[in-house]
Amino acid sequence: MSEATFRQPAVSDGQTLWQMATDSQVLDVNTSYAYLLWCRDFAKTSLIAEIDGTPAGFVTGYLRPDEPEILMVWQVAVGAGFQQRGLAATMLDELAARCCVQGVETTVTEDNAPSNRLFTRFAERHGAELTRTALFTPELYPDGHDTEYLYRIGPLGPGAAARVPELAAAGIR
């Protein structure tokens, strides 16, 4: 496999993000309109990974309005042909470094073992504390959605970007 390259999404990528989320069969898929808006309004806090010019994965996130030093990760997806290669972890490290944040949050359901591992290992790599609490419980949803657990990871260890050699070499802090 060639090395992945990363870039901010453009509005024209909204369809690709929607399709990748749909194909994942594990993510909550939002309307295609939401992905177009995401690529327009939150491009600076999101990224797409490409391998040999083909979209291989994405991470979408935003800076919390009341805590702008915290990156809230909304979705992480890796295309079927690119899984089991560490791409999700690399994308997450890349995005956290680009955003220069002190911490990361996300929500994960109990049964999502890959995401639970991804964020637990992210905390370990960055020497950060991880706390997990129930955030949105089934009675809050109109459709009986499972509990979403809030993962709070931080503060990220000093020199977190230096832990990813290609980021340090590019001078990204």
Helix (H, G, I), strand (E, B) or coil at 51: strand
Q: Are the beta carbons of 139 and 55 closer than 8 angstroms?
A: no
**For 108-129, how does the pLDDT look when each residue is reduced to its tens digit (9 = 90+)?**
999 999 999 999 999 999 999 9
**For 51-81, how does the pLDDT look when each residue is reduced to its tens digit (9 = 90+)?**
999 999 999 999 999 999 999 999 999 999 9
Residue 161, pLDDT above cutoff 50: no
The predicted model gives 89-103 an average pLDDT of 97
Q: Domain ranges in the chain?
A: 5-169
Q: What pLDDT does residue 42 have?
A: 98
Between residues 161 and 139, which one has the greater pLDDT? 139
Q: How far is the CA of 89 from the CAs of 4, 40, 62, 115, 145, in angstroms?
A: 12, 24, 18, 10, 26
Question: CB count, 10 Å around CB of 141?
Answer: 12
Query: What span, in angstroms and rounded, lies between the C-alpha atoms of 15 and 20?
Result: 9
Q: Are the beta carbons of 74 and 41 closer than 8 angstroms?
A: no
Residue 160, pLDDT above cutoff 70: no
Tokens of 111: 């049964």
CATH (one of 1.10.260.40, 3.40.630.30, 3.20.20.20, 3.40.50.300) for 5-169: 3.40.630.30
Smallest CA-to-CA distance from 107 within 95, 93, 119, 98 is with 119
